[in-house]
Each structure stands twice: as structure tokens, then as C-alpha cells.
Amino acid sequence: MVAWSQARKLCRVRLSIQPGYEFGYLVGATCSDGTVGKNYVSLVVNDEAFAAKYADSLTRVTGLSARLEAVTRPSGYLGRDVPGFRVRVVSSRASGSRPVGGLIPKETA
């Protein structure tokens, strides 16, 4: 039996993590308020400053470009849409089968 892999996935550069305070901030915020999908990492919060700091940390630690955008989402408690801010990176390098969506190298998990 032969296993097939997409050629572009075999030669891509691995995500290089820069350790330090920002890495800890990124992991903590992702674990507490973030979402890790198959090919994305996302955070939706009410505070724009918090979202901006998360986006900055994500970019500094991973080198991936993080977008900050204003969004609305439904509130079951208030019964209406509430404003918020979302930071999202769509990249198979920032998510996947590794712990915390690829932010923690498999060797240290």
C-alpha cells in the first residue's frame, strides 16, 4: 500500500516559534478564550485592546499575519447582537494535530 501526500505539504517550512512572554500570553489567551480549528486559530472578545495585543503577540511569535476585525455576535442573555473584535489566522501551519493548534511543538507537549 502506498500513502499519498500533497507535494506542497512535504516541502513547506515549519512554523518557527519565538519563546518568551508573548508566547506565554498567546498560549494562555488561546486556551482560555480562543478557538483552534482544522486550519485556523481565532479569538473573539469584547475588548479591542485585548484583541490587538493578542494579534500582535500572534504575529511576533509565529510570523503569521493576524487580522483584527470588528464583528457582532448573538447574546443569549441580552437577546440581541453585541459588538466584539475577532483575531483570526487561517493557516494549516498555525493549527492542526499538535496541542493548542500547533502553537506548542509536538516535542514539548
Residue partners of 70: CB distance under 8 A and separation at least 6 = 83, 84, 85, 86
Residue 53's CB is within 10 A of a number of other CB atoms, namely 16
pLDDT of 39 = 82
Q: Give the mean model confidence (pLDDT) for residues 45-62.
A: 93
Four-way CATH pick for 18-94: 3.30.70.260, 3.30.300.30, 3.40.630.10, 3.10.28.10: 3.10.28.10
What percent of the chain stands above pLDDT 70?
72
Do 36 and 61 meet the contact criterion of CB atoms below 8 Å apart? no
E strand or H helix at 90? strand 80-90
pLDDT of 86 = 95
Closest CA to 42 of 52, 33, 99, 56: 33
Domain ranges of the chain: 18-94
pLDDT tens sequence across 10-50: 666 667 777 899 999 999 999 998 988 888 889 999 999 99
pLDDT tens sequence across 75-88: 889 999 999 999 99
pLDDT-based confidence at 102, cuts 50/70/90?
low
